Structure 1
Amino acid sequence: MLPPRQSDSNRNAITPLLLSLYLLLSACAEVQPLETATEESPPLAKSPIENTASKPQEGEPRAFPIDTFYSLLVAEVAGIREQYDVALANYYHQAEVTKDAGVAARATRIARFLNARQAALRSAQLWVNLEPKNASAQLALTAELTLAGDIPNALAHAEEALKLGGKAPLQSLAATAIGHEKLNEQISAEFARLAETYPGNDEVTLAHAMVLRAEKQFKPALTLVRRIQENHPDQLDAPLLQSHLLVDLGKRREAIELLEKLVSVYPNETRLRLQYARLLIREDLALARQQFAELVNQRPEDGNLILSLALIHYETNQIDAAKPLFSKLLALKQHQSAAHFYLGGVAEKQGEITTAVTHFRQVEPGNDYVEAITKGTKLLAANALHDENEQWFTQLRQQHPKQEEHFYLMEVELLRKNDEPQRALKKVEQGLLAMSHSGRLMYTRALLNDQLGNGSAFERDLRILLERDPENATVLNALGYKLIDDDSRREEAFELISKALQLEPEDPAIIDSMGWVQYRLGNYAAAEKYLRQAMEKLPDHEIAAHLGEVLWVQGNREEALKVWNDGLKINPQSKIIPAAMKRLQIKESMEQHASDN
């Protein structure tokens, strides 16, 4: 759960949640690749069949064979009935049979409308072959080649469209090229050549600037877009790209000021306001919230914008404003998992445990899935709702059989942390019945038995693990450390820890164990050396307790107290350090009393 803000100030530090929002919105403000469909409505509803066929040069209508005419008539009727797959099949087939440019054009448009990529590409290629001087044909083929990832050929046909007076979508083509693998020199050189060939074409210049930006040539790219903006101040793609370049150059404030002016002049230009709002997330959350509110007002069913505004409200602890926005996403069936996740968070903040868990359980696999499980099961465990937790974990193990071990361990750890060691032990026993091969479950059972004072069961499991894997440094160290307290087995403990240290010489936990066993063997100098080394590698309250004790018994009381105090700063709730201090002071007091008598 994110902590509430102290104030709604204009300068807010960015948090992980807002960073995710920032990354989510980055794509929205960029120039997007070519759309897969260019028709807003079915193309069949617009053109009667008599206009379908191309006309011969002499201007006379071309007569189709009766079979072709019948097939095209069926296609038109199918289109009227919205049976577009039938229409496409007929037109696509007749385009191949008749080699007629009009039929090929019709087939291309239908295929593109249906996102039938292979059919659209073949039809467009046929159309260009039949009418190479048709700019629309060249543009259609450019789009399909771009979607197919054939950037070099797409560029070639885009240039043909330019020669014919068409408006080639080079910005989209550049965006697609950049989104593929690293731009090679040939593609980059082609964009540069086109920019030189068509210096007055804004589309070409902007595409070249995009490529330069991808190559991190920010200053040359900025020069190009500024030139466009000076010559054509109403061309809004240029300042949008300019804002990205300014950010690239570390001039975020200048980019914000540019967009602020543009938004005031073009208040309904969503792309400009979105980029402005996106940049404000890092600088001014209150103003960013205002911009997103206006965007949602302009596009009330845009899930991305609703989610963005809801997240800002959530982040600034304006729960009452965030909640209806997340609920609206559920009603719109957009970003449903994210909506459930944050509605769970809202309910958790409001103390509605059952509602929170209900939402967390509806989060689908994806970005928030693991955290939703973690949050929901923690809530259930903290409120001693063990049956509900067990039911959820059982369901998770059934849904994700490959993660069965993970969910057993997660459930056991929750029970352990909530002071339910007996329940935890019972659950790990259940897991081992299902997964007897699991070393992690067996090691967890050993630790639980140790916590419950079942020393023989603890050692039994560790011995089994060592039989399976004799060079498991973690298990060797755990068993060795446990045996240190047994005077009769201290040499055995030393051997186990020595072997573990040979296997993992840089592990601070094992180094600490070696220091502690040396101390218990009476080798104070060696103990101090190892414990100082462990403390340097991993400042930890338990290591501090050990090092302080070694220093204390050697008479270095002042440094011992400092080490203990440093350990308590690391973990103010430490029970080990106060226990060591009390034990040593009592021991010293008793020794002094005996000496006096």
Structure 2
Amino acid sequence: MLPPRRPLPLLKNQTLSLGALCLSLVYLLSACAQMPPETTTNEETEPSAREQHRDEGAAAAGEDAARSFPIDTFYTLLVAEVAGIREQYDVALANYYHQAEVTKDAGVAARATRIARFLNARQAALRSAQLWAELEPDNADAQLALTAELTLSGEFLEAMKHAERALALGGKAPMQSLAATAIGHQQLDEQLRAEFARLAEVYPNNDEVVMAYAMVLRDAKQYRRALALVRHIQEQHPEQIDAPLLQSHLLVDLDRRNEAIQLLENLVKIYPEETRLRLQYARLLIREDLNLARQQFAELVKQRPEDGNLILSLALIHYETNQLGEAKPLLDRLLELKQHESAAHFYLGGLAQKRGDNDTAAVHFQQVQPGNDYVEAITKGTKLLAASGKHRENSLWFAKLRERHPGQVEHFFLMEVELLRRNGEPQMALQVANQAISKLNNSGRLMYSRALLNDQLGNAAAFEKDLRTLLERDPDNATVLNALGYKLIDDETRRQEALQLISRALELEPEDPAIIDSMGWVQYRLGNYRDAEKYLRKALEKLPDHEISAHLGEVLWVQGDREAALKVWNDGLAANPESKIIPAAMKRLQIKETLEQHVSDN
């Protein structure tokens, strides 16, 4: 997208101006059109009135020191200027960049540099700045421009050289920016640190240089040395805002958070309109006093009502403190400003969910785009729709997700199947699983999921068929071996087959508590109570699960150790009060015992 309509940047003290270009071009064209035949009169040596007028016009345009260019160069540069006025910035840059290389003129190179930087054309800006600095090595602006471009390109040592040259010429080199960029790129090696230290010694009274070195020291975790430098800067330059800001960070680094807060509180009173100070103060308060932090962010939003970052921060504080009425208009404002729209939709969805308006919540969650909250928004939104029975809406959402993320098709099918299963729709889940497998017939995860659905629906043959297919593809899949073996335990005629499958799974995964539990259970059903107890105790040690507790309790009960069985069951219920498996086992065994006793008595 092109930048908004605005003029191209002007040069300071440039040797080439648009007015001079026009004047020179007009003169040259008229001279070519009216050029007299060769003569030997004194017109060759004495300036004409027209020439004198031309010279006066050039001087008025600031061109008395400008060099002469060929007509093609003048024309190309005029085209560049007109292109800039017409917002054809790429044409303007191309012409200036080319003529800078051709003419080796400092003014043209400077103009090309500024246009390239204006357009964020980094490669052209770097090359033009290098040419400008070569042509005008004693121009501080040229050195500063090259410093900036070298910094952006990650050539930090080279940038330091030109920064030092700019300082020597009286320029204010962006040393803090250079240090911050180098630290951000994690390229602040010992050689670069040494250069910052050397410059700080050469320019001990230059706050920009010394501040940059303090930043470097902080990065090296030399907090006390950095703090001493910062305080020195504050003494020399009490109006400098960067120094106390860095001081607050260093105090936090030194676990002197209260001092940092007190420092910023005092500074905010002195400089109430200084946003950076108040923002740092507000951020520190978030962990200490959320109510006071909210007040500071509210003031920041008043000062900068269009700043989406500040609005979002204040909205989140309201959200976290359950001030939902205050959070909503701020989040709505973000949508109006078209800033942080995904975050706004995510938290508006959360607000709607808290109000019990699940439909509105789902609408907001669906508008969250890929980013920090994306996965959570999908998870929350689809769960809400599934819980509300809005399965068609969920199906459409999952279809869009699969289309948007072709590499995650299997994942989203599995999510949809699982949500339907958990919300009491196994038949619908099976239909989706069948649809998914028709598209992704090599997906073992989908086939395994379908097998479990068929088991839930009582389709034993379909369950076994899918698991057998998976074992044909991967005979050493311990999970599938265990699942099939565990299912076959219920069939008295196939328990030896079950034992073989589970034994193979245990060989592959000897420490898996689920497989150990299966081995204990098959041993129990085969009548091997001692072996069963050994395996089940081991499984329960590894995984305190209510199903394992139910199995172990049953084994202990049938062996006559009722007290131990009751303890295992009670412990299992304490860990999982919602368990239905343990009460079912207890009830079944007690009924069985009562019946056996009744038969014995009669």
Task: Give the TM-score category using the shorter length.
Answer: 0.7 to 0.9
- Counterpart for residue 8 of structure 2: 42
- Counterpart for residue 235 of structure 2: 230
Higher mean alpha-carbon deviation, 305-314 vs 558-567, is at 558-567
What are the Cα deviations for residues 4-51 of structure 1, in whole angstroms up to 9, with x where unaligned? xxxxxxxxxxxxxxxxxxxxxxxxxxxxxxxxx9xx973149974367
What are the Cα deviations for residues 211-270 of structure 1, in whole angstroms up to 9, with x where unaligned? 222222223222222332233332221221122222222232322222222222211111
- Spell out the pairing of 1:421-460 with structure 2 (5 A cutoff): 421-460=426-465
What are the Cα deviations for residues 78-108 of structure 1, in whole angstroms up to 9, with x where unaligned? 3344433333233222222222222222221
Higher mean alpha-carbon deviation, 112-121 vs 584-593, is at 584-593
- Spell out the pairing of 1:169-568 with structure 2 (5 A cutoff): 169-568=174-573
2: CA distance between counterparts of 1:385 and 1:173?
A: 55
CA contact (8 A) 1:107 1:120 kept: yes
Residue 250 of structure 1 aligns to a residue whose secondary structure is: coil
- TM-score (norm: length of structure 1): 0.88
2: CA distance between counterparts of 1:76 and 1:182?
A: 40
Higher mean alpha-carbon deviation, 99-108 vs 547-556, is at 547-556
Structure 2, unpaired ranges of 5+: 25-57
Once the 2 structures are TM-superposed, how far is the Cα of residue 596 of structure 1 from its aligned partner? 4.5
1: CA distance between counterparts of 2:258 and 2:545?
A: 43
Residue 204 of structure 2 aligns to a residue whose secondary structure is: coil
One-letter amino acid matched to 1:43: P
CA contact (8 A) 1:209 1:221 kept: yes
> CA, structure 1 residues 558+233, in 2 after alignment: closer, same or farther (shift >3 Å)?
farther
Higher mean alpha-carbon deviation, 514-523 vs 63-72, is at 63-72
Residue 442 of structure 2 aligns to a residue whose secondary structure is: coil
What are the Cα deviations for residues 31-75 of structure 1, in whole angstroms up to 9, with x where unaligned? xxxxxx9xx9731499743679999xx984433343333333333
Once the 2 structures are TM-superposed, how far is the Cα of residue 578 of structure 1 from its aligned partner? 0.9
Once the 2 structures are TM-superposed, how far is the Cα of residue 536 of structure 1 from its aligned partner? 2.2
2: CA distance between counterparts of 1:527 and 1:141?
A: 78
Higher mean alpha-carbon deviation, 124-133 vs 559-568, is at 559-568
2: CA distance between counterparts of 1:554 and 1:335?
A: 65
- 2:137 aligned residue (124, 127, 132): 132
One-letter amino acid matched to 1:147: L
One-letter amino acid matched to 1:471: D
One-letter amino acid matched to 2:594: S
- Counterpart for residue 38 of structure 2: none
Choose 1 or 2 for highest CA Rg: 2
2: CA distance between counterparts of 1:432 and 1:277?
A: 53
Higher mean alpha-carbon deviation, 469-478 vs 172-181, is at 172-181
> CA, structure 1 residues 51+261, in 2 after alignment: closer, same or farther (shift >3 Å)?
farther
One-letter amino acid matched to 2:9: P
One-letter amino acid matched to 1:466: L
1: CA distance between counterparts of 2:585 and 2:387?
A: 31
- Spell out the pairing of 1:47-62 with structure 2 (5 A cutoff): 48-49=17-18, 60-62=65-67
One-letter amino acid matched to 2:330: L
Once the 2 structures are TM-superposed, how far is the Cα of residue 550 of structure 1 from its aligned partner? 2.6
Once the 2 structures are TM-superposed, how far is the Cα of residue 157 of structure 1 from its aligned partner? 0.7
Once the 2 structures are TM-superposed, how far is the Cα of residue 570 of structure 1 from its aligned partner? 2.2
- Counterpart for residue 583 of structure 1: 588
State yes or no: 1:117 paired with 2:122. yes
> CA, structure 1 residues 522+130, in 2 after alignment: closer, same or farther (shift >3 Å)?
same
CA contact (8 A) 1:259 1:272 kept: yes
2: CA distance between counterparts of 1:128 and 1:442?
A: 67
What are the Cα deviations for residues 406-436 of structure 1, in whole angstroms up to 9, with x where unaligned? 1211111111111111111122112122222
One-letter amino acid matched to 1:189: A
2: CA distance between counterparts of 1:509 and 1:106?
A: 73
CA contact (8 A) 1:541 1:567 kept: yes
What are the Cα deviations for residues 342-392 of structure 1, in whole angstroms up to 9, with x where unaligned? 222222222333322222222222222222222222121111122222222
| Count of residues in correspondence between the two structures | 558
Residue 513 of structure 1 aligns to a residue whose secondary structure is: helix
1: CA distance between counterparts of 2:479 and 2:187?
A: 44
> CA, structure 1 residues 264+553, in 2 after alignment: closer, same or farther (shift >3 Å)?
farther
2: CA distance between counterparts of 1:591 and 1:214?
A: 78
1: CA distance between counterparts of 2:543 and 2:272?
A: 55
2: CA distance between counterparts of 1:519 and 1:573?
A: 25
2: CA distance between counterparts of 1:117 and 1:152?
A: 18
- TM-score (norm: length of structure 2): 0.87
CA contact (8 A) 1:277 1:291 kept: yes
- Counterpart for residue 169 of structure 2: 164
- Counterpart for residue 42 of structure 2: none
1: CA distance between counterparts of 2:541 and 2:277?
A: 52
CA contact (8 A) 1:174 1:210 kept: yes
CA contact (8 A) 1:501 1:507 kept: yes
One-letter amino acid matched to 2:439: A
CA contact (8 A) 1:108 1:119 kept: yes
Once the 2 structures are TM-superposed, how far is the Cα of residue 557 of structure 1 from its aligned partner? 3.3
2: CA distance between counterparts of 1:389 and 1:333?
A: 27
1: CA distance between counterparts of 2:435 and 2:386?
A: 18
Structure 1, unpaired ranges of 5+: 1-36
Residue 475 of structure 2 aligns to a residue whose secondary structure is: coil
Once the 2 structures are TM-superposed, how far is the Cα of residue 154 of structure 1 from its aligned partner? 0.5
- Counterpart for residue 46 of structure 2: none
Residue 100 of structure 2 aligns to a residue whose secondary structure is: helix
- Counterpart for residue 44 of structure 2: none
CA contact (8 A) 1:44 1:80 kept: no
Residue 63 of structure 1 aligns to a residue whose secondary structure is: coil
CA contact (8 A) 1:45 1:80 kept: no
2: CA distance between counterparts of 1:549 and 1:41?
A: 85
